[in-house]
Structure 1
C-alpha cells in the first residue's frame, strides 16, 4: 500500500483500501499538532477514553497501544466494513507509525481478517522494496467501528544500502554448508537432498527475536531443508560479509529433541520417491470418506480421531476452517521413520508421529504448531518460541479435557503448588562434599526409578573416544569397571542418547548417573525404562565445579532425592500422559517446576542458555501456567487468580494469539495481548469449547470485566511482563568506558589512527599452520556493524575452510603492526581502541601484542587493561584448536545470547607491560582462526596512544610532537 499526502487530505492506494476523503481530511485537521506536544501525547489526546501503551524492549518504541473498554484510538474516522476498518487503521498509522518505530511509508497492508467481533488488519514493513524480517503491526477494529488496539514490532532507523555484495546463490550455498557442518542436538541428521528451498533478500534486525537492542543488516533469509523435510531450518546470512547472523529450526516437535531420519522402502533402503505424491509421502492409506476404522491399527485410528478433534475444536470454538483458515487438507504421517523416536513433530506441511506417540493431546499439540505458523507466526526462538510451544500445549490439553477419548482418570482440579502423583521423580541433586563447592544444583528430568534417595561418591571416568565424541561422554563401555562400580558417574552430554549413557554406566555397576550439559541450564529428559539407574542432568557451571574438584584429587559426594514432596492424585494439566512410548507425561502445565520448568519468569528453572533455541520447551511453562491458573483458579506467587473456566480462557488466548501477536512478540506482549483481548470480548458472543464433529456452535457465557481482572492477576502471578533480568545477558565488551586518563588529569594523543585513510600506517603479516594453507588479510571497511560509512580495520573469521589440515586450510593468524611510537613524559601512558568481536567462542579470537625497544613481541595481559580486558584464554592446541594463538589470552565469542557483537572501548596501561618514558613501542592487533567454522571476525577503530598529565601542572606544559619511526 502506498500512502500519498496532499495538503490535509489523504488518498489511500492499495488492495482493499478506500475511505471518504472528506472524512479523512476532517480527521487530519482535528489531529493537527499542538506546539510542544509529543507524538505520544497526540496519540493519547486524540483517543476516546484511556490509552494503555507499552514499549518494545528491542527498540524502545511503542509496541502495544490499546484503548480501554468502549474506547477508540481514532474516534474521528468511522468504519463499518472490512474496507473501512483497513482505511481507519491506515489513517491511524499514517499519523502515528513513527511512535511504533517506522514511517508510515514503510508499512504495507498485507490482509484483513474478519471474525465475529470485527476485523484485524495486518501490516508488514518494507524498506526500499525489501521486506523487513519479522516486522509486523496488527490493528484491531471491532464491529462498532472502534480501533481498539494496535500492536507489533517494526525496525526503526533504517538507513542502509540494499544492494548486496554477496550473490543470492552464494548465500544459499553458505546456508546449506552451515546446516551441513553445524548440526544441532545429539542425533545424527539426515542430510540427503539438503538444499536451499527458498532464498530472500531482506532487512534483518539482530536481537529482535530475543527482545534486545540490535542493528539493521541487509541479509538473505535462506530456508534449508532435506529431501524428507525432517530437517527444515531458517538461516540468516549477512548479504555484505557472508557471515552467519542467526539460525533456527522450522520443525516443531513436542519434545526437547531434534528429529531426523529418511523414508525407507520395504527393503530398508532409501525411498527413491518416484511414486511420492505430497511432501515425500506415498499414497494415503486412509482419506476422508473412507470406512473408519477400516482396518487401521490403534495408532492410526488415534491419529485420524485426533486430527478430526483438532479441526473441529478450532472450527466450532473460533470459526477457523483448518490451520490456514481456508480449509487446507490436514495430513498426518504415522510411524514416521524420519523421527528419532519416541517423538512427534510438525514440519510445515504434515504432522508426524512415532509408534505409541499418538494420544489426543499430542496430536492436537502438533496441529497447534500449524495454527500458530499461520496466525501469529511466532519465531521458534527465545520467548517467541516459548509462546509457540506453549500455545501447542494449551490447545492440546484443551482438546484432551474436552473430549471423551483417551481421558486418564482421576482428573480433578489440582490443589495449589502440588505435583501430580502421576508425575515422575523431581530430582534434587545436592553436592555434600567438599565444602567449598557444596550446593543444591538445578537439575533437568530423570531416567530410572528414584523411590529412595541415592548418595555416594562421584566418579568421572574416561572411555574410548568414538568419532565426533570425547573421552568423557559416557558413550562407550568402561574398560575399568572398578572406577565406576558403586559410584555415581559424571558424563558429558553429546554423541549418544541419554539412555545409552545410563545403560553403559549400569553395566559397569554405577548406582547413578549425572549428565553435565554444555550450557549453564540443565537439559530435560525422560524415559519409560525404570530399570535404569537414577540419571539426572546438571548445568555446565556445576559440572565443571565437580570435575575441577575431582581433578584436584578431592572426593566429591552428592545426594539425589525426589523433591516433589506431597502430591495430588490427578492427571489434569499433564501433557503427553497418554503416550505409552514416553512412559509418563512430559510436562506439567499446572505446576511446571514439577518437571524442572519455570512457572514464572523469576523461577530458578527459567532457562537462559542457547540450548533448545533459547529454552522454548522449558520456558513455555510460564505461559502454560498462566492458562491453567486462569482456567481453574488458584493462588501462585502470592497472587490469587479467580478461575474463569475453559470457554472464556480459550477464547481470550485464541484472540491474543490470532490478532495481537506477531513473529517477535514476547511474554510482555502476551500480557498486553491477553488484557486487550479480554477487554474486546467483554459482553460479546463467544462459543463453548467443542470437539464434536459438525457441531452447531453453542454460545458460552459472555466475558465480563471481572474476568479481565482475573486475566491481569494470572499475568501478574506468572510475571509475564517481567523481563528475565536474572539471565544477565551482557555484551562481550562492557559499555560506559571511563575517561582515558582519569579524574584530575588531561590527556594528549601522541599517535593514533581512525583508519579513514585505510591501513596505510600499518604493516600486514600472516602466519599459517599447514603447508599450502592460507590466512585472511586485514582490510579497511566502511560497512562494519553499527559503524557503516566510517572506515574501520577488519579481519574476517567467518564460516570458511574445510578443516583439511593441509592445502587450503584456514588455520592462520593475521596481524597489522603500527610504526614505532616514542613514548613521552607524563603521569602515565595508555593505549585506547574501540572494537567489535564476533568469533567462534574459544577457537577463533584476537589479542593485542606489544614490542618495547625492539625486544620480543608479548601479548598484553588482561591485568594490564584498565577497561575491557581480554575475556578468555583461547582453547589450547592440546584440545585440537589449530589457531596459532591457541593458549593465549584474547578476545573471543559474541554478546550474550546472540550470534553478534557490539562496539566497546578497551584501555591499556602501558606501564604495566614495562613501557616507560622514552621507550619506542610497536602495537600489533592479531586475529587467529582454526581451519573451519566461524561467525564474523574482529573490527578495530580509533586506536590511540595517549600521555596522561596532571591538570594543575600540565596546563602550561610545552607542546610536544610525537616521534613516529
Structure 2
C-alpha cells in the first residue's frame, strides 16, 4: 500500500570556532560514530575545520577542499579508493550541506556518499556518510551490452511474475556495486563493476500494480544478477484527468500524448474535485517546503518536463484506473510524476508522495528493509506536516491529527501518534516489528518507529520511560530537512538516530529555525523514547 550518540551525551553543539587550518580530520580532536559493524559513519571535529588558505568559502569549493580528509576519515584512516566529487548543495540555516558522490575511474559507486555540514565560512562542522573502501576488477566498457537488459528483464519477470511484454527498461548505466551500500546486507563488501538497469511494469504484490525495479548485472558476466529489488513507492503545476479510463499504470504520465493537461498553473478550477484538490495540494506542499525548510524549489528539484509546452512542473494524474482495478485504490510516485485513484487526492497523501521525490533526489534511500522504512517514514512525516500546517483544510481536525489517509477513500491507514492502533511498531524491534521479507522487508509496517519519533518531537510526551518536551513543527521540520541531506542510501535506524542528533547540532550552529542546544537534548530523548539504536562513539 502507498502508505500501507552524536557529538556528545549532553547534546551540546561544539563551541564557536577558532578553527584548525588543516582539512586532515585525523589530526584534530573529534567524535567518531561507527555502525554496528564498526565502520565509521560520522565524524564531528571538536572545533570546525577551516578551509585551506586560499580556498574560496563558497560551499562547492570548500567541500571539495575538505574531500580528501573526509574520505580518509570515513574510511577509518585506512585505505581509500576513488575520489569524492561534489554532487549537490543544500542550504541549512546560514550554512549548507554539500553531498559528494564517490567515483572510481570516473564511474559512480552506487549509494556511496559523504554529506559535509559546512558553516557559512566554509569550515567543516561534521561529515556523515558511507563509502566503499575496496574495489575489485575494471570496466572493460561502460557501454552496456544488449545482454545486460535481457538478463535484468528476465530477473524481474521471474520475481514479479509479470509477462515480459509488460516490462520495459527505462535506463541502463554503469555503476560500481557494493552490497553494503545497496543495503543488501550489513557485512562490509567490495565494489565491483556492474550495470544498473531500471525497469517499469506490473508489480508482484497485486496484479496490475505499477512498479519500478532496480537490477544490478555483473559487468564481467552479463548473465549474472548481483542484486535486484522493487523501488515501487505507493502512496509550476500540471494536473491531468484520466477520467477513470482503464490504462496501464506505467502509461499514466501527465502531459503525454495519452493523458493531456486538464488544469495548469494560474488557471481557474475546472470543477472536478480530484483535479482541483491535487492542484491546490501540490502548491501547498511546495509552499510548506519553501516556508519550513531550505529545500530547493520542488518544481526544480523533482519536476518533470514532458515536452507538452508547460515546461518543468509538478505533475499529477488523477482518477486512475488500471485494467485490473477501477477505481484504483491507491496512489504512487513514479519517479517523475504522481498518480491517484479516485478519492485518494488528500493533502497528506500528496505531501507523502512528493516527499518520495525529495528523498529520491537528496539521499536516495534504498526502498527495502530499514532504509525503506525510513524512506516511507520521511514521506509520512512531511506529508503530515503539510496537512497539519494547513489550517484552511476542513479535514484538519483534532480527531484527524497524525492520522494518515483521513478523509480519503482509503480511510485512515496509519496513526503516527499511536502506530500500534494499525499494528505498526512505535519502538525499534518492539511489538509489531516486522522481520520478514514481504512488503520489501516491512517498509510500511516498520515506518511506525520513525513516525512516532517525529510525532513525539513535535508534540512531546512519554514513551518507554523517557519524557520528551515538545519542539513544535517549525523546529522539527527544519531538523528533518537537515537530516534528509545527511542520510546515505543504506542508512538504517541507527544511522537515523545519529543523523537526527547531528542535524540538530548543525542547525544550532547555522541558526536554523531558532534551534537551541536545549532542543538537541529533546531530540536525543526522542531517539531514546522509541529505542532507536544509539551508535557507538569514540574520540
Distance in 1, matches of 2:428 and 2:253, equals 46
Structure 1 match to 2:216: 236
Query: Which residue of the partner structure matches residue 390 of structure 2?
Result: 403
8 Å Cα contact 1:598-1:619 kept in structure 2: yes
Determine the structure 2 residue equivalent to 1:127.
104
Q: Who is 1:301 aligned against? A: 276
Match of 1:223 among 190, 193, 198: 198
Cα drift, residue 600 of structure 1: 1.3
Residues 174 and 396 (structure 1 numbering): CA distance in 2 closer, same or farther, change over 3 Å?
A: same
Deviation, structure 1 residue 248 = 2.1
Match of 1:329 among 313, 316, 319: 313
Deviation at 1:679, TM superposition (A): 0.9
Which residue number corresponds to residue 664 of structure 1? 490
Question: Contact 1:383 / 1:616 at 8 angstroms: preserved in 2?
Answer: yes
User: In the aligned structure 1, how far is the partner of 2:358 from the partner of 2:421?
Assistant: 28
CA displacement at 1:135 relative to structure 2:
0.7
Q: Which has the larger radius of gyration?
A: 1
Q: 1:160 aligns with which of 137, 143, 148?
A: 137
- Is 2:338 aligned against 1:347? no
Q: Is the 8 A contact 1:46 1:74 kept in 2?
A: no
Q: Distance in 2 between matches of 1:148 and 1:705?
A: 15
Task: Kindly indicate whether the alpha-carbon contact (under 8 Å) linking 1:608 and 1:614 is maintained by their aligned counterparts in 2.
Answer: yes
Distance change in 2, residues 1:89/1:229 (3 Å): farther
Distance 1:249 1:178 in 2: 12
Query: Which of 405, 418, 424 in structure 2 is aligned with 1:576?
Result: 405
8 A Cα contact 2:196 2:217, kept in partner: yes
Q: In 2 relative to 1, CA 92–286 (structure 1 residues): closer, same or farther, beyond 3 Å? A: same
For residues 342-379 of structure 1, give each alpha carbon's deviation from its aligned partner in whole angstroms, at most 9, with x where no partner exists. Answer: 11000011111011111111111111111111111111
**Structure with a larger share of its residues in helix:** 2
Q: Which ranges in structure 1 are unaligned for 5 or more consecutive residues?
A: 1-22, 32-41, 255-262, 412-569, 688-701, 724-965
Q: How do residues 523-922 of structure 1 correspond to structure 2 at under 5 angstroms?
A: 570-579=399-408, 581-582=409-410, 584-658=411-485, 660-682=486-508, 684-686=510-512, 702-721=514-533
In structure 1, the residue corresponding to 2:118 is in which secondary structure? Answer: strand
Unaligned ranges ≥5, structure 2: 1-18, 203-207, 236-240, 304-311
Q: CA–CA distance in 1 between the matches of 2:171 and 2:128?
A: 29
Contact 2:59 2:89 in 1 (8 A): yes
Contact 1:102/1:154 (<8 A) preserved: no
Distance 1:665 1:57 in 2: 12
The whole-number CA distance in structure 2 between the counterparts of 1:648 and 1:160 is 47
The equivalent residue for 1:249 is: 230
In structure 2, the CA distance between the partners of 1:684 and 1:75, relative to structure 1 (3 Å rule), is closer
Is the CA contact (8 Å cut-off) linking 2:72 and 2:80 kept in structure 1? no
375-384 or 204-213, which deviates more: 204-213
1:387/1:265 Cα in 2 relative to 1: closer, same or farther (>3 Å)?
Answer: closer
Q: TM-score, normalised by structure 1?
A: 0.47
Tell me how far 1:393 sits from its aligned partner. Answer: 0.3
Correspondence list, 1:20-419, <5 A: 27=22, 43=26, 45-47=27-29, 51-57=30-36, 60-67=38-45, 71-73=47-49, 80-93=57-70, 96=73, 98-99=75-76, 103=80, 105-163=82-140, 168-183=145-160, 192=165, 194-208=167-181, 209-210=183-184, 212-216=186-190, 217-226=192-201, 230-241=210-221, 242-254=223-235, 278=255, 281-291=258-268, 293=269, 295-319=270-294, 320-322=296-298, 324-325=300-301, 328-338=312-322, 340=325, 341-408=328-395, 410-411=397-398
Which runs of structure 2 are paired with 1:422-501 in the superposition (5 Å)? none
Q: Cα deviations across residues 495-540 of structure 1 (Å, max 9, x unaligned)?
A: xxxxxxxxxxxxxxxxxxxxxxxxxxxxxxxxxxxxxxxxxxxxxx
Rounded to whole Å, the distance in 1 between the matches of 2:283 and 2:321 is 23
Residue 60 of structure 2 contacts residue 98 of structure 2 at CA under 8 Å; is this kept in 1?
A: no
Counterpart in the other structure of 1:822: none
Cα distance change of structure 1 residues 576 and 193 upon mapping to structure 2, 3 Å threshold: same
Change in Cα spacing, 1:278 to 1:251, as seen in structure 2 (3 Å) is farther
1:408 shift after superposition: 3.8
CA contact (8 A) 2:369 2:440 kept: yes
Bigger mean CA deviation after superposition, 130-139 or 220-229: 220-229
Q: 1:349 to 1:229 in 2, by over 3 A?
A: farther
Q: Is the 8 A contact 2:22 2:49 kept in 1?
A: no
Question: Cα distance 1:142–1:596, how it changes in 2: closer, same or farther (>3 A)?
Answer: same
1:234, CA displacement in angstroms?
0.7
**Which residue matches 2:8?**
none
Q: Identify if the C-alpha distance between structure 1 residues 234 and 324 changes in structure 2 by more than 3 Å, giving closer, same or farther.
A: farther
Q: Distance in 2 between matches of 1:619 and 1:129?
A: 37
CA–CA distance in structure 2, aligned partners of residues 389 and 272 of structure 1: 21
> Is the 8 Å Cα contact of residues 44 and 125 (structure 2) preserved in structure 1?
yes
* Offset, 1:249: 2.4
Count of aligned positions: 491
Q: CA deviation at 1:278?
A: 4.0
Per the alignment, residue 492 of structure 1 pairs with none
Q: Deviations over 1:639-683 (max 9, x none)?
A: 11111111111110111112x112111211211211111112226
With CA pairs under 8 Å and 6+ residues apart, which has the higher RCO, 1 or 2? 2
Query: Cα RMSD over matched residues?
Result: 3.3
TM-score, with length taken from structure 2? 0.82
Change (3 A) 1:147 1:335: same
Q: CA deviation at 1:104?
A: 6.3
Alignment match, 2:9:
none
Distance 1:116 1:239, change over 3 A: same
Tell me how far 1:102 sits from its aligned partner.
Answer: 5.7
The 1:271–1:407 alpha-carbon spacing in structure 2 relative to 1, beyond 3 Å, is closer
Aligned equivalent of 1:888: none
CA contact (8 A) 2:144 2:173 kept: no
Partner deviation per Cα, 1:97-140 (whole Å, 9 max, x = no partner): 53277626432232444444223222212223432111111111
Deviation sequence 1:372-393 (CA, Å, 0-9, x none):
1111111111111111100110
Counterpart in 2 of 1:921? none
Helix, strand or coil: the match of 1:309? helix
Query: SS of the counterpart of 2:412?
Result: coil
